[in-house]
Amino acid sequence: MSRLRKRVAVLISGRGSNLQALIDAAVGEGFPAEIALVVSDRPDAQGLQRAERAGVASRVLVPKELGGRAAFEQALEQALREADIDLICLAGFMRILGADFVGRWQGRLINIHPSLLPAFPGLDTHQRALEAGVKLHGCSVHFVDSGVDRGPIIGQAAVPVLPDDEPDSLAARVLTAEHSLYPRCLELICLSKIQLLEGGVKSTSSAPAESAILANPDRL
């Protein structure tokens, strides 16, 4: 990834609010990435409209119509190559990618998850957080590996859990944090300030503020 602005593909399945946050960040002066492609596994995903409004190329690849996961991932790989993609961001992409695909994109494939991993991997994170009685909840950006929501963590942002919270109100608060955290983590990766090493993630920045940004949501 030697080019000045990395070409990023965003994979979605739904409304695409994190896609919008990445698009908005990428049009900012000096941002080191451009959103070059949006791929959805659902033709009715609202995020496709966001891509169209932003003038970003999009593709719809439906696994069932293509003949299953292997054919889907082959078509996805071809679309990524044709768009000359450097990095992939999963943003509400509700499909598990196969180990071979993940292995080919190791260190260049990231995801955002609505919990403070390793707590509450998988689905229904906000309901589970409330049931557990946690006082802090949040979101995590991580490199994708062969596990589900288990890859090395790049950055996290925490939000308080309020006494009268319900899943929807907590989800809204976490989503606001996601929209700040995801672009910031993408920026740091594109600037080579975050690297995936064996056994974890290393920050190559010497500036204390960079560490504070990832540790403290108030500094996002």
Separation in Å, CA 180 to CA 32, 132, 208, 218: 16, 26, 19, 10
Q: Is 179 a catalytic residue?
A: no
User: Could you say which of 113, 137, 142, 179 is catalytic?
Assistant: 113
| Nearest Cα to Cα of residue 72 among 59, 83, 63 | 63
The CA R_g of the chain, rounded to the nearest whole Å, is 17
- Name 200's Cβ contacts closer than 8 Å, sequence gap at least 6: 152
Cα–Cα distance between 34 and 25 in angstroms, integer? 9
Dihedrals phi, psi of 49, to nearest 5 degrees: -70, -35
98 CB neighbour count, 10 Å cutoff: 13
In the block, tokens 């979101």 appear at 139
Q: Provide the token pair at 188.
A: 């740091």
The stretches of the chain forming alpha helices (DSSP H) are 17-26, 47-54, 63-66, 69-82, 99-104, 125-132, 167-190, 208-215
211: nearest Cα among 184, 180, 190, 176: 184
20: amino acid identity, one letter: Q
Catalytic residues: 113
